[in-house]
Amino acid sequence: MKTLISNAILADGTGTDRRPADVLLDGEVIAVVAGAGSLTASGTGAERTIDATGLVLSPGFIDMHAHSDLQLLVNKDHYAKLSQGVTTELLGQDGLSYAPVDDATLAGVREKIAGWNDNPQDFDWDWRTVGEYLDRLDASENGKRIATNAAYLVPQGTVRALVMGFAEGDPTPEQQERMQDLVRTAMEEGAVGMSSGLTYTPGMYARTEELAGLCRTVGELGGFYAPHHRSYGKGALGAYAEMIGLSRDTGCALHLSHATMNFAENKGRAGELLELIDAALDDGADITLDTYPYLPGATTLAAILPSWSSSGGTEATLTRLADPATLARIRESVEIYGSDGCHGVVAEWHTLEISGVQNPALAGHVGKTIAAIAAESNAEPFNVFVRILQEDRLGTGILQHVGHEENVQAIMVHRTHTGGSDGLLVGAKPHPRAWGTFPRYLGHYSRDLGLLTLEEMVHHLSGRPAKRLKLDRRGSSAKATRPTSSSSIRAPSVTKPPLKPPASQPLASITCSSTGRQRSTAGSHRRPCRPRPAPQPRRTHPSRKYGIA
């Protein structure tokens, strides 16, 4: 079907000035981009016309840090992202997702990240490899395809669990080779790079040398490394430096996940991080990053534990939590010295808010901090922390109130910045970034604060991430894109234009598209996609000076 969007103000994703335009869509393809008023329904054969007078037309937005790995399959409407204008999501984040796996690894991962994605028992987990998972995303179920385009990062923690289990320890040479082979196979099957979660077990057990071997494989295949690095709190700059050094030493491109500077010791220190990144860029490094436009973070309550106490998976962890001597060691780490799971920072119980639980008996805790629950029950916060972990089998989701507005703003305007929601879509009170990241970028930070122009912000959310993903047919609506037999361009979204309207004027949006996927072409030597008949698409696999606001 042909759709004519007339009299729009086009912010085309390149960062250039907006301009009046008519755009003709032919199915999922941008067929014509012309001056406003130059196209008519009769002249183009359009069966549908959208009058976009007073609205801004932009490319669909790309969520560079999405946790929709299950939601795309169990919730085909996926309003959380479509309502924001998101049309492409990067999955497989933080080193933990559902492929590649065997039966035992899948069971362990499902339990481990239940607080991120839930753990449905009646769901058909019918894949084991990355290729099979991507095929499942591609499949139509009950006449419906997944709602957004999807690209996938092979998760380093899952790969480690598949080869070494969930316990601590260094890999043997044979295990290291096996992990690198799994990463290579995953990328040949369609992954665009590799992620790590280096404050989550078992990925955090990897030393730098282990990660370097995996990054070399990723770099050889033209992909990029997207780490959740070892600390966003104590020693954060050193953790960032480790990742930048990995990129330099292995030749693997780097994308820093939810690049923040959190906790009290990092207040006002974003400039130090950006100086570190700029120095690497000036030396020729290939670095991008993503952030979410909120102050709290989100994770699982179990992530606060020291890594040694989580070795071996859920049952081993629960056994330790039931042992008084071991609990004393855990308490010392969490409340006195600062556990590695809590970014080297002593847990502040008033900052840890329950956002979701697996056990319905704990539902009354949602929306309350550990400190508040402890006060209500006249108990010590640490004991409340342990009780909830036990009764919820480590499946509790939390918000962690540790961010700083000046850091968020400084990183947001950097030349490497892209948008990533890091949104967890489950729980009774999920983080608002799951539903609000992209409107908040456009409405609060661009329109209301003027931190970036609308054109610049659209570029951060579309054109720049598309370049990182090597999707040359996405991220820009500057000109028509002719279809091929194997890929298609996602239809755009439309958003309200003014930078500085009255405070009461909302940033509206219109989504007028169906879905389509395009496999990344990150490496020219990658095996080609299996051919599909047209028009069925394939899956997706200047600089402003920063400062402290």
Tens-digit pLDDT string for the chain (549 aa): 999 999 999 999 999 999 999 999 999 889 999 999 999 999 999 999 999 999 999 999 999 999 999 999 999 999 999 999 999 999 999 999 999 999 999 999 999 999 999 999 999 999 999 999 999 999 988 788 999 999 999 999 999 999 999 999 999 999 999 999 999 999 999 999 999 999 999 999 999 999 999 999 999 999 999 999 999 999 999 999 999 999 999 999 999 999 999 999 999 999 999 999 999 999 999 999 999 999 999 999 999 999 999 999 999 999 999 999 999 999 999 999 999 999 999 999 999 999 999 999 999 999 999 999 999 999 999 999 999 999 999 999 999 999 999 999 999 999 999 999 999 999 888 899 999 999 999 999 999 999 999 999 999 999 999 999 999 877 777 666 544 322 222 233 444 333 333 333 233 333 333 333 333 333 333 333 333 333 333 334 323 333 332
Phi then psi dihedrals of residue 255, to 5 deg: -125, 110
Is the distance from CB of 50 to CB of 3 less than 8 angstroms? Answer: yes
Q: Helix, strand or coil for residue 297?
A: strand
Helix (H) or strand (E) holding 9: strand 2-10
CA dist list (Å): 300 to 26, 112, 136, 356: 44, 9, 27, 9
Helix (H) or strand (E) holding 256: strand 253-256
- Bridge pairing between strands 86-91 and 61-63: parallel
Dihedral in degrees, nearest 10, Cα atoms 316, 321, 323, 324: 160
Residue by residue, DSSP assigns 179-247 as HHHHHHHHHHTT--EEEEETTSTTGGG--HHHHHHHHHHHHHTT-EEEEE-S-SSTTHHHHHHHHHHHH
pTM: 0.85
pLDDT at res. 481: 58
336: DSSP letter: I
Query: Which residues sit opposite 21 in a β-bridge?
Result: 8, 35
Contacts of 538 (CB under 8 A, 6+ apart): 486, 487, 517, 518, 519, 529, 532
pLDDT at res. 478: 66
SS3 labels along 14-30: CCCCCEEEEEEEECCEE
Helix (H) or strand (E) holding 158: helix 156-164
Instruction: List the structure tokens of 494.
Output: 């439309």
pLDDT at res. 367: 96
Rounded (5°) CA angle 205-207-212: 125
Strands (E), 416-523: 417-419, 493-495, 509-511
Is the distance from CB of 333 to CB of 339 less than 8 angstroms? Answer: yes
Task: Report how far Cα 202 is from the mean position of its chain's Cα atoms.
Answer: 19
CA dist list (Å): 433 to 10, 128, 315: 26, 30, 32
Instruction: List the structure tokens of 192.
Output: 């665009």
pLDDT at res. 60: 94
| Cis before 20? omega within 30 | no
Q: Could you tell me the domains of the chain?
A: 61-295+403-465 (3.20.20.140), 301-399 (no CATH)
| Burial (CB count <10 Å: 0-12, 13-18, 19+), residue 35 | exposed
How many other C-beta atoms are found inside a 10 Å radius of the C-beta of residue 367?
A: 13
Instruction: List the structure tokens of 414.
Output: 């950097």
Rounded (5°) CA angle 306-311-315: 110
pLDDT at res. 472: 83
Query: From CA 353, how far away is CA 203, in angstroms rounded?
Result: 25
Helix (H) or strand (E) holding 288: strand 287-291
Sign of CA dihedral 46, 48, 52, 53: positive
pLDDT at res. 429: 87
Instruction: List the structure tokens of 238.
Output: 């050193």
CA dist list (Å): 117 to 396, 426, 544: 11, 6, 36
Helix (H) or strand (E) holding 289: strand 287-291
- Bridge pairing between strands 56-58 and 253-256: unpaired
Residue by residue, DSSP assigns 458-473 as HHHHTHHHHHHTT-TT
